């Protein structure tokens, strides 16, 4: 299931209908809480597109509250639900704030540029990045296919993909992996 959240709409609905800027921690916390409420209502595995297209300004504190703290709940072995996130409509100045927030917690996320390109942002090591890029280029495939593309062992690729899955950076359906934003 793919859900779409327009962050600007959430901001207007939950904080003030006159605001177009995502600034201050209380604002960020209110927006994140509303996003979490929406997520809780959606059952089963889901990919949520978090759309910043209509957000004018995003400051560092708000990026920490909205993006980093949201991802933090899902990063690791025991996420509260089987949810994945894809960011869209992220401008360069938004990205400055988001990257700074991700770095603080060693988090990473996937975003989709205006031209449709998928980008991995945040803290990942070189091997994880190579595995993610191989999967992105291949589309839905098994660990063995990623290993072939990387020129490595299947067990190593499987371990890397498992880590990426645990970090909610790729989806997994049985033995197949799917990059976020691609057709499962």
Contact residues toward another protein (CB under 8 A) are 16, 19-21, 23-27, 56-61, 64-65, 68-69, 91-93, 96-97, 100-101, 104-105
Query: What's the count of helices (H) and strands (E) in the chain, helices before strands?
Result: 8, 8
Tokens read off for 90: 């992220």
4 or 104: CB nearest another protein? 104
Q: Which of 34, 102, 114, 97 is nearest to 69 (CA)?
A: 102
> Looking up tokens 């927030």, which residue turns up?
101
Could you give the CA distance from residue 85 to residue 159 in angstroms, rounded to a whole number?
Answer: 21
60 or 121: CB nearest another protein? 60
Q: How far is the CB of 5 from another protein (least distance, A)?
A: 21
Q: How far is the CB of 178 from another protein (least distance, A)?
A: 30
64 or 145: CB nearest another protein? 64
105 or 129: CB nearest another protein? 105
Q: How far is the CB of 123 from another protein (least distance, A)?
A: 13
Other residues' Cβ atoms within 10 Å of the Cβ of residue 175: 10
Q: How far is the CB of 19 from another protein (least distance, A)?
A: 6
Q: What residues have CB less than 8 Å from 102, skipping those under 6 apart?
A: 67, 68, 71, 108, 109, 121, 122, 123
Could you give the CA distance from residue 164 to residue 160 in angstroms, rounded to a whole number?
Answer: 6
Q: How far is the CB of 85 from another protein (least distance, A)?
A: 17
Looking at the DSSP bridge assignments, the partners of residue 142 are 176
Looking at the DSSP bridge assignments, the partners of residue 111 are 87, 119
Q: How far is the CB of 76 from another protein (least distance, A)?
A: 15
45 or 60: CB nearest another protein? 60
58 or 134: CB nearest another protein? 58
């Amino acid at each position: 299931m793919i859900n779409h959240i327009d962050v600007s709409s959430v901001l207007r609905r939950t904080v003030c209908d006159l605001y177009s800027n995502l600034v201050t921690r209380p604002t960020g916390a209110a927006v994140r809480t509303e996003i979490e409420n929406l997520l809780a209502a959606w059952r089963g595995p889901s990919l949520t597109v978090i759309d910043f297209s209509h957000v004018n300004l995003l400051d560092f504190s708000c990026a920490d509250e909205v993006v980093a703290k949201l991802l933090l709940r899902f990063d690791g072995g025991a996420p509260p639900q089987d949810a994945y996130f894809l960011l869209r409509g992220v401008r360069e100045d938004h990205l400055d704030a988001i990257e700074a927030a991700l770095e603080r917690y060693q988090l990473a996320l996937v975003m989709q540029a205006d031209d449709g390109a998928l980008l991995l942002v945040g803290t990942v090591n070189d091997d994880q990045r190579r595995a993610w890029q191989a999967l992105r280029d291949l589309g839905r495939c098994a660990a063995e296919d990623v290993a072939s593309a990387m020129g490595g062992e299947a067990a190593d690729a499987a371990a890397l993909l498992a880590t990426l899955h645990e970090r909610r950076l790729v989806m997994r359906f049985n033995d197949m992996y799917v990059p976020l934003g691609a057709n499962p």
